[in-house]
Chains A and B, each alone.
Chain A
Amino acid sequence: MKRQLAYFLVIFIGFLTLLGHFINYSPLNNFIDNDATQWFDIISGFAAFLGVINLLQLHLNKIANKRDNWRYSIITLAGFTIMIIFGFIYNGSSVAMGPHLKEDGSAFYWMFQNIYLPLGATMFALLAFFVASASYRAFKIRNFEATLLLISGVFLMIGRVPIGQLIPWWMALEIYICLFFALIANRFEEKKKMLFSLVICIIVLPLITYFLNLHNLSIFKIPELQEWIMDVPATAGSRAIMIGIALGTIAQSYRIITGRERSILGD
């Protein structure tokens, strides 16, 4: 019975919010547009209390049982308590409680500015290093797919920065030739043959291009190629993913509001 009640509510609210978009009844429309999500925010605001209780339980437990790294839990609790004190008890600035959170000069704001912000920004900046090591590992010419990943990644990387504009047409051409050979290297049985044809291509193709006056083509300008990659194939890819995600979300929502996706409510 209790469980049935929850399902009934899911189905009822789900269809209400979906069909409310089509029905001409302004309180309902207003509910969907504004209140529905505001309510969600308020309910999750209440849940924040549960989060805090859980956090305290976890760390106090750790300290009480002297589990691994329990000393660090003291730091977490201290940081938390200080923020709560500055948020609700001690103000430190001239404005009222509440607006003081964003007031330059309050103790809370000091903590925000000097502890919270730099920590967040630095964690974020760590990504620069991780992205380097990830790309070092990922961008390998393993197969055709990986090569495409590499090509579009690398061209974007150099095409987007001013250095990409300094690359002359012949160098771009040589890069293409090398990439092509890297891709087909496995097909060659004899290493010497491959090296020979590579060298020939590297010398002859630029000359041909130059004499045929093809070197002004935009394919040899990395920034323009980069823009094309972004505008055409990457757009196609992201559109396919977007439509896929939309379909997935819609189907999942449908399963939820018809009461079929049950594990979410513990069934």
Chain B
Amino acid sequence: MELIKKIFIQLGQLDRRFIFLLIGLSVLIPLLKPDWINIPIKTTTNSKIVFEELNNLKEGDKVLVSFEYGASTKPEIHPMSVAVLQHLFSNGVKVYTVPLWPEGLMMAKYAIEEVVSSDLFNIEEHVDYVSLPYKAGGEIIIRGIATDMRSIFTQDVNNVLLTEIPMMTGINNITDFDFVFDLSAGVPGNAEWVQFACDEYKIPLSSGCTSIMVTDAIPYVESGQIRGILAGMPGAAEYEQMVFEYLNNDTYNKYLNKEAVIVPGKATSRMSAQSIAHLLMVIFIVFGNISYYLIRKRKI
């Protein structure tokens, strides 16, 4: 008994480098051997709301997708971007991408490229999607999109004049869109979209964001200012799965190439690493508490 106590107390005073090492391994091993652990994914309400909202869009509806993340948060947000784009294209929705972070430009490009190269849909630039360039200014740009988009954007990323792009006709401000989807990892992000554009002009807004932002965004979700939310990597995995099932079951979808192979996304495979790391941390916390309890009792 004394021995066990001693061990626990020792555990409580572990060098933090040891914790670092274990955390590192708990992430590394599932990534190296993904087939060792396989855990099913269950969807949460907020992700379902997002899916339903996007699913209710009709053919030809216009959706503004805003990219506010960069390379560092790519693992969390990028799978969402791809899944959302797939979902939109599978319903024949027109997509307009706008980056509000400098790196968002590249992320939008990668996401579109990934969807195009998957050969699932026959989509063409300027017919099914338009990519707008990055403009510095954050919330000013959101404000500008809300009031007068053409004063901010005159060309798309490939320097084609917007006046020459057919799918840009009739789009002058935010009220010309049917939906805004925001992929954000910070500021400007979904809060700015609520404050500066969507709330005021009553344009439905959904968001996918990093997990750290969720608690800040939840009041907006609760009040319906943001319709559903995809929360971090699990949110991405859930959405990926929903889209994957949707594409597989929807055999009559005219937008889908029948020959193409639908592959599940990346977030799903990352979830096992995530699960193990979380489990390890919980175990740390439990051990930490036991040793804390024992030490405290000794002092008394």
Q: Do chains A and B touch in the complex (CB under 8 A)?
A: yes
Binding site for B on A (CB under 8 A): 33-34, 37-38, 41, 102, 117, 120-121, 124-125, 128-129, 132-133, 135-137, 139-142, 150, 154, 157-158, 160-163, 165-166, 182, 185, 223, 227, 230-231, 234-235, 238-239, 242
Contact with A along B208-249 (1 / 0, CB 8 A): 000100111011001000000001101000000000000000
The smallest beta-carbon distance between A114 and chain B, in angstroms, is: 11
Contact between B144 and A231 (Cβ–Cβ < 8 Å)?
no
Bound CA–CA A179/B202 (angstroms): 45
Cβ-defined partner of A158 (8 Å) among B70, B144, B278:
B278
Contact between A230 and B234 (Cβ–Cβ < 8 Å)?
no
Given known pairs A157-B278, A162-B41, the reply for A37 and B140 (CB within 8 Å) is yes
6 smallest CB-CB distances across A and B, nearest first, come from A162-B39, A121-B72, A163-B275, A124-B72, A161-B275, A133-B16
Query: What secondary structure prevails in chain A residues at the interface with B?
Result: helix
Contact between A238 and B215 (Cβ–Cβ < 8 Å)?
yes
Given known pairs A141-B289, A141-B292, A154-B285, the reply for A231 and B218 (CB within 8 Å) is yes
Given known pairs A182-B293, A235-B222, the reply for A37 and B137 (CB within 8 Å) is yes
Number of residue pairs spanning A and B whose beta carbons lie under 8 angstroms apart: 127
A234 — which chain B residues lie within 8 A by C-beta?
215, 218
Cβ-defined partner of A129 (8 Å) among B24, B70, B271, B293:
B24
Given known pairs A140-B288, A141-B289, the reply for A163 and B39 (CB within 8 Å) is yes
Given known pairs A136-B284, A161-B234, A162-B275, the reply for A223 and B136 (CB within 8 Å) is no
Query: What secondary structure prevails in chain B residues at the interface with A?
Result: helix
Given known pairs A129-B23, A158-B282, A227-B44, the reply for A38 and B137 (CB within 8 Å) is yes
Bound CA–CA A132/B282 (angstroms): 10
The smallest beta-carbon distance between B14 and chain A, in angstroms, is: 8
Contact between A161 and B271 (Cβ–Cβ < 8 Å)?
yes
A163 — which chain B residues lie within 8 A by C-beta?
39, 275-276, 278-279
Verify if B281 is at the interface (C-beta below 8 Å from A): yes
CB neighbors of A among B135-165 (8 A): 136-137, 139-140, 143-144, 147, 151
Binding site for A on B (CB under 8 A): 16, 19-20, 23-24, 27, 39-42, 44-45, 70-73, 102-103, 105-106, 134, 136-137, 139-140, 143-144, 147, 151, 211, 214-216, 218-219, 222, 231-232, 234, 271-272, 274-279, 281-282, 284-285, 288-289, 292-293
Can you spell out 20 A-B residue pairs with CB atoms less than 8 angstroms apart? A33-B144, A37-B139, A117-B70, A124-B73, A128-B277, A132-B281, A133-B16, A136-B19, A139-B289, A140-B289, A160-B211, A161-B39, A165-B40, A165-B42, A227-B45, A235-B218, A238-B218, A238-B219, A239-B219, A242-B219
Contact between A34 and B140 (Cβ–Cβ < 8 Å)?
yes
Given known pairs A132-B19, A162-B42, A163-B39, the reply for A121 and B71 (CB within 8 Å) is yes
The smallest beta-carbon distance between A127 and chain B, in angstroms, is: 10
A136 — which chain B residues lie within 8 A by C-beta?
16, 19, 281, 284-285, 288
The smallest beta-carbon distance between A131 and chain B, in angstroms, is: 8
Bound CA–CA A135/B23 (angstroms): 13
Contact between A135 and B285 (Cβ–Cβ < 8 Å)?
yes
The smallest beta-carbon distance between A43 and chain B, in angstroms, is: 14
Bound CA–CA A227/B19 (angstroms): 29
> Can you name 11 extra interface pairs (CB under 8 A) apart from A136-B281, A140-B288?
A37-B139, A41-B136, A41-B137, A135-B285, A141-B289, A154-B285, A161-B39, A161-B274, A163-B276, A165-B39, A238-B218
Given known pairs A124-B72, A161-B234, A227-B45, the reply for A139 and B136 (CB within 8 Å) is no
